[in-house]
Structure formats: C-alpha cells, structure tokens
Amino acid sequence: MLCSTKTGDDVGPKGAAMAVTDTVRMSFKGHFVQPSFLDFVDRRAARLDLDVAVTSSGADRVAVEVSGQRDLIDAFEMACSLGPMDCLILDVERCRIDTGTGGQRR
C-alpha cells in the first residue's frame, strides 16, 4: 500500500509526488547595481532550473516573471532577497500569475 500526505494536484499516479509548477511576478525594491543584480537573477534561476524574464529594471526596482516548481520559486525569492553584496533589497512584492485564465492572483 502506497501512502502520501499530499492531496489534489500534488499527487500523481499511484500516489507519487509530482512537482507543482507556477508562474510568479516578483518586484524587488531597493538599491541596485544593475549588471550585478541582473546577472545574479539569471545565475540563480539557472541554478534552480527556473525560467526567468526581467520585465523592468531601474536603480530602485527590478521586476521579473519566474516559472517553475513552486518550492524552487520560493528558494529563488529568498536568494534574490539576500541579493549580491553590492545591492540592498528592501522589499519584495509577489503576485502569482494564473496561467490558465491569463489573470493574476495574489
């Protein structure tokens, strides 16, 4: 007998856990050295096997859309909130994008 504590869309055939994927828009606010933070974002996304697109960037704000496994998106957010040493991240806004309907959910 195969048991699992996961329910719904987290469970595949015969109770095997499946990776749950998501797309999230993140907006990092703070003080950025552009090449440094953007390179950091790209490297972290690659390391975590996530798809990332920078949607806007400036001296005090960088916005990205990230797609991949939910747990890895959480890890990406944590890594980027710590940022490279020459950037200071003060706040992160996160909005889940509902890819099924094209809308957004918080």
pLDDT in tens, 24-72: 999 999 999 889 999 999 999 999 999 999 999 999 999 999 999 999 9
Residue 52 lies in a domain: yes
- Of the chain, the percentage scoring pLDDT greater than 70 comes to 76
Number of domains comprising the chain: 1
Residue 55 belongs to domain spanning: 22-100
Q: What is the CATH number of the domain that holds 51?
A: 3.30.70.100
Please determine, for residue 98, whether its predicted confidence score (pLDDT) is greater than 90: no
* Structural domain includes residue 75: yes
16 located within any domain:
no
Residue 8 belongs to a domain: no
Q: Has residue 55 been placed in a domain?
A: yes
Q: Is residue 78 part of a domain?
A: yes
CB of 20 closer than 8 Å to CB of 99: no
68 contacts: CB under 8 Å, gap ≥ 6: 21, 22, 48, 49, 50, 51
Q: Is 90 a member of any domain?
A: yes
